[in-house]
């Protein structure tokens, strides 16, 4: 009996151990980049999507008339370069944009690219009478589309867009989510329909779409018929690994060779294990608090200024973000030509904060509500803020919302009873800042959720958009930033540096001054 | 038996109806709706309102529910709002993945739970029994999330025996051995706590039965100990054991959902989470119904098994 049971037990253990025979070597093909992402990409229909992960993927599959150059790691802001348009000119003070298109370009399905294809794409969100009109696209790309007065095909490879008002940043704004103006094959849209084109993305880019297993992976392969310099990689696989530790483990086991959004406390360990951390201090990704300028207490400028003095941004960046973020002093994000690296405001001074609060009539502080989204890293930064403000007598109650509920609340604008909320965002063009701070972009017409209004600032923003000379434009934005900062409409917190970890086999990866990547320079050693 | 089966299957209907209506109600009541997902947060209220009308989302809840029910009864679970795929196409592979993980975990739970339970009951009071009981106590209280990460650290990173995550290797087309290889750690993680509980309770059930008169008579008659335990005691403890395993199903499924997160196992749990976050109602409904159905069917199977084992109708 004893022997029999022992044998049975031994057999069971042997069975378990024998499964080790199944263990294969880690699966990697040479020339395949395997990227572990923290979330699923949303739709791959560029006109109707918004997330940064999906934007990276559409960046490989599609192109626009002009693209941003994401291959220079030293650029402090990304510049436009010719893509499907070989040249362009902007006339009438920024109102008329004429593009000379490239000839001999084919979409991935073999059909030809020309001015009619471009017009077809415009009509998808501009012309309600066109068969390809797609209300979802219009809803997403409204920021880019609302500037357009008309689009004219001048000849087979020439197209002209006339805007309603001058805007020198117009085209580049079309390359930023939500809704991105990338060129989709009209034949593919006709074949699959507006709803299903996201499942069969067909562009002109350096990589072709191969397959998508929802929630698991997306596979792209090199486009060997690309019109320009071909990419180096054979394949790109994007794997969804939402748990941060699982993502790190996959990198350690060589099941992926690039990960984004590493958990802050694993950074040292990964470096020690031989993985390379690549950051870019000019990524346009700023975390900021919007203060409710209508709030009974916070409508007093002195109180808002006090809050700004009370937050220790430098310690926050160092301690919580472990060096993967820099303190943000103003609301002009990094990664735009207008960013001023020398701008400083509200350096940490809790005594001054208390003084201002007393002046405003709150010597013992006050209570206030802070609305935040749940994003799974434990809301450490928000608790830091709460703690800093407590030190000057301001008691912050944090109200946490699940993401979609939060977006619903956020886009409606701060209610009178709520003191402030937060967002992480940014674009490579400074007019992004304008959209958070103009009088006429308050909800429901935009995202100035704190109801900030200053006519002087509005005028500076108007002037900047119509300004052809870049240095004057920059000066206008910086002047606006000074006023906004003095009005303390926001509490800028940190600029994220978009930390990426790569395996030593990955070569040529560039972390650009933008929130998504161009993988055409990457190769992976066998 | 057949009548029993039919009655229970008929009882399924109100359960599923109730569950689906509750889900409908909860998604409706949650702030923010699917038009934010469909149109993006920057879309105007006007655009969202128009879309709501097109999708029929402005209708009273009961009408929306009735329409959905009508489609479902015709076999149409609709289209996922977020991905434009048919819900059935989205759900099927996920359900299969969860069933595979759940099935493998259940198999491990039964095999190890019963084996360890029987062994320790046979050696009740001895050193092996006491040591095993302590080990079982510890394992039974380990959080599956933590256990999963520890197993990955040991068996994926230190000894490169198993992959850290996923259901198949990235280069795809690995076949059954590939899936089995990926299945080991998540199944062990999911099965650990339920197996420990089953082991402890099987031990208790057998010990209890061993104290009954008929067992004493058998021992007095000189029946070998092995036969007593594996034949006589087990036979009568079986309904209890089956019920215990059935009760662990809930924990097993809960543990499977945790394992799906840690191991990026593409199952229903993950799908349900992302569809809730995205307010993708057709997918939420179908996922919840699938889970409810699996639960009810498994419970039914357990009950039927018990009836077969004990036709007198006395349940432990």
ipTM score assigned to the predicted complex? 0.84
Q: pLDDT band for A120, please (50, 70, 90 cuts).
A: very high
Residue of A nearest to B260 (CA): A243
Residue B235: φ, ψ to 5°: -55, -40
> Encoding tokens for residue A348?
């940490």
Q: pLDDT band for A67, please (50, 70, 90 cuts).
A: very high
Q: Which of residues 409-448 of A touch B (CB under 8 A)?
A: 409-411, 444-447
Q: Is a pLDDT exceeding 70 seen at residue B300?
A: yes
Q: Is a pLDDT exceeding 90 seen at residue B123?
A: no
Residues of chain B contacting A448 with CB distance shorter than 8 Å: none
Q: Is a pLDDT exceeding 90 seen at residue A72?
A: yes
Q: pLDDT band for A377, please (50, 70, 90 cuts).
A: low
Strand partners, A100: A87, A158
Residues of chain A contacting B160 with CB distance shorter than 8 Å: 23, 26, 253
Fold classification of B87-314 (topology level): MetI-like fold (1.10.3720)
Residue of A nearest to B226 (CA): A1
Q: pLDDT band for A521, please (50, 70, 90 cuts).
A: very high
Mean pLDDT across chain A: 91
Residues of chain B contacting A12 with CB distance shorter than 8 Å: 111-112, 115
- Looking at chain A, the whole-number percentage of residues with pLDDT higher than 90 is 81
Which of A69-78, A316-325, B260-269, B287-296 has the largest mean confidence?
A69-78
Q: Is a pLDDT exceeding 50 seen at residue A25?
A: no
Q: pLDDT band for A20, please (50, 70, 90 cuts).
A: very low
Strands (E), A223-274: 235-240, 258-260
Q: pLDDT band for A448, please (50, 70, 90 cuts).
A: very high
Strands A235-240 and A32-37: parallel
A407: distance to nearest CA of chain B, Å?
7
The pLDDT score that the predictor gives to residue A224 is 95
Q: Is a pLDDT exceeding 80 seen at residue B45?
A: no
Does B180 contact A253 at a Cβ distance shorter than 8 Å? no
**Is A47 within 8 Å of chain B by CB?**
no
At A468 the three-state DSSP class reads: coil
Q: Is a pLDDT exceeding 80 seen at residue B312?
A: no
Q: Which residue has the higher pLDDT, A375 or A59?
A: A59
Asked whether the beta carbons of B16 and B290 are under 8 A apart, the reply is no
The pLDDT score that the predictor gives to residue B172 is 63
Exposure string for A218-247, b = 16+ CB within 10 A, e = fewer? bbbbbbeebbeeebbbebbbbbbbbbbbbb
**Is B223 within 8 Å of chain A by CB?**
no
Q: How many CB atoms lie within 10 A of CB A307?
A: 27
Provide mean pLDDT across the span A214-224: 93
pLDDT digits (tens, 9 = 90+) for B192-250: 999 999 999 999 988 888 888 888 888 888 888 878 777 778 888 888 888 888 888 87
Q: pLDDT band for B295, please (50, 70, 90 cuts).
A: confident
Residue of B nearest to A239 (CA): B170
Q: Is a pLDDT exceeding 50 seen at residue A28?
A: no
> Encoding tokens for residue A336?
């735009």
Residues of chain B contacting A405 with CB distance shorter than 8 Å: 30-32
Q: Which residue has the higher pLDDT, B25 or B27?
A: B25
The pLDDT score that the predictor gives to residue B313 is 54
| A21 Cβ neighbours under 8 A, 6+ residues apart | none
**Is B184 within 8 Å of chain A by CB?**
yes
The pLDDT score that the predictor gives to residue A355 is 96
Asked whether the beta carbons of B31 and A436 are under 8 A apart, the reply is no
B42: distance to nearest CA of chain A, Å?
7
């Amino acid at each position: 009996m004893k022997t029999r049971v022992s044998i049975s037990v031994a057999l069971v253990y042997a069975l378990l151990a024998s499964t080790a025979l199944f263990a294969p070597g880690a699966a990697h093909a040479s020339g395949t980049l395997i990227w572990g992402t923290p979330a699923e990409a949303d739709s791959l229909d560029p006109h109707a999507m918004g997330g940064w992960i999906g934007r990276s993927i559409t960046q490989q599959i599609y192109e626009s008339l002009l693209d941003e150059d994401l291959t220079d790691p030293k650029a402090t802001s990304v510049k436009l370069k010719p893509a499907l348009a070989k040249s362009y000119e902007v006339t009438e003070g920024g109102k008329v944009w004429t593009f000379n298109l490239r000839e001999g370009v084919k979409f991935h399905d073999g059909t030809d690219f020309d001015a009619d294809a471009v017009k077809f794409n415009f009509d998808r969100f501009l012309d309600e009478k066109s068969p390809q009109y797609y209300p979802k696209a219009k809803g997403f790309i409204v920021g880019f589309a609302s500037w357009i007065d008309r689009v004219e095909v001048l000849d087979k490879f020439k197209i002209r867009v006339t805007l309603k008002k001058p805007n020198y940043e117009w085209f580049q704004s079309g390359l930023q989510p939500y809704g991105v103006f990338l060129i989709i094959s009209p034949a593919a849209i006709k074949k699959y329909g507006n709803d299903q084109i996201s499942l069969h993305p067909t562009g002109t880019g350096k990589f072709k779409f191969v397959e998508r297993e929802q929630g698991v992976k997306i596979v792209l392969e090199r486009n060997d018929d690309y019109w320009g310099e071909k990419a180096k990689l054979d394949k790109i696989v994007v794997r969804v690994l939402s748990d941060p530790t699982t993502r790190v483990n996959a990198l350690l086991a060589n099941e992926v060779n690039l990960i984004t959004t590493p958990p802050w406390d694993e950074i040292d360990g990964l470096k020690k294990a031989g993985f390379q951390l690549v950051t870019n201090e000019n990524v346009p990704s700023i975390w900021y608090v919007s203060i409710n300028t209508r709030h009974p207490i916070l409508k007093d400028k002195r109180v808002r200024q006090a809050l700004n003095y009370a937050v220790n941004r430098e310690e926050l960046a160092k301690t919580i973000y472990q060096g993967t973020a820099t303190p943000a002093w103003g609301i002009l994000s990094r990664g735009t030509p207008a960013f001023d690296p020398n701008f400083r405001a509200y350096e940490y001074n809790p005594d001054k904060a208390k003084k201002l609060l007393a002046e405003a009539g709150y010597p013992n502080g006050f209570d206030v509500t802070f609305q935040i989204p749940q994003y799974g890293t434990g809301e450490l930064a928000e608790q830091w803020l709460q703690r800093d403000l407590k030190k000057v007598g301001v008691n912050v109650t944090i109200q946490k919302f699940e993401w979609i509920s939060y977006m619903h609340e956020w886009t409606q604008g701060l209610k009178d009873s709520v003191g402030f909320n937060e967002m992480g965002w940014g674009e490579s063009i400074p007019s992004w800042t304008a959209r958070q701070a103009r009088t006429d972009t308050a909800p429901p017409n935009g995202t100035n959720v704190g109801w900030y209004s200053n006519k002087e600032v509005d005028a500076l923003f108007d002037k900047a958009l119509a300004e052809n000379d870049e240095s004057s434009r920059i000066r206008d934005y910086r002047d606006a930033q000074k006023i906004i900062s003095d009005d303390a409409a926001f509490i800028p917190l940190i600029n994220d540096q978009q930390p990426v970890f790569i395996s030593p086999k990955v070569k040529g990866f560039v972390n650009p001054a933008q929130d998504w990547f161009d993988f055409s320079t990457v190769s992976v050693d066998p | 038996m057949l009548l029993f089966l039919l009655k229970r299957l008929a009882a399924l209907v109100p359960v599923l109806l109730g569950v689906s209506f509750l889900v409908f109600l909860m998604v409706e009541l949650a702030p923010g709706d699917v038009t934010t997902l469909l149109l993006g947060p920057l879309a105007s209220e006007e655009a969202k309102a128009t879309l709501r009308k097109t999708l029929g989302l402005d209708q009273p809840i009961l009408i929306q529910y009735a329409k959905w029910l009508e489609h479902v009864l015709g076999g149409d679970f609709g289209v996922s709002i977020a991905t434009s795929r048919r819900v059935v196409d989205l759900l099927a592979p996920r359900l299969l993945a969860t069933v595979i993980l759940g099935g493998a975990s259940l198999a491990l739970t039964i095999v190890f739970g019963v084996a360890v339970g029987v062994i320790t009951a046979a050696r009740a009071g001895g050193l092996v029994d006491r040591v095993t009981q302590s080990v079982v106590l510890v394992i039974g209280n380990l959080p599956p999330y933590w256990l999963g990460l520890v197993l990955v650290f040991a068996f994926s990173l230190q000894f490169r025996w198993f992959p850290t995550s996923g259901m198949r290797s990235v280069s795809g087309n690995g076949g059954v051995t590939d899936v089995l290889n990926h299945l080991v750690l998540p199944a062990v993680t999911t099965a650990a706590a339920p197996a420990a509980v089953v082991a402890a309770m099987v031990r208790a059930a057998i010990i209890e039965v061993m104290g009954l008169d008929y067992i004493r008579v058998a021992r007095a008659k000189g029946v070998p100990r092995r036969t007593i335990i594996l034949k006589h005691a087990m036979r009568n403890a079986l309904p209890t054991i089956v019920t215990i395993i059935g009760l662990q199903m809930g924990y097993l499924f809960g543990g499977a959902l945790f394992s799906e997160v840690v191991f990026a196992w593409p199952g229903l749990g993950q799908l349900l989470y992302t569809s809730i976050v995205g307010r993708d109602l057709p997918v939420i409904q179908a996922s919840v119904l699938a889970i409810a159905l699996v639960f009810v069917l498994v419970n039914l199977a357990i009950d039927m098994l018990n009836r077969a084992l004990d036709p007198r109708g006395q349940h432990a």
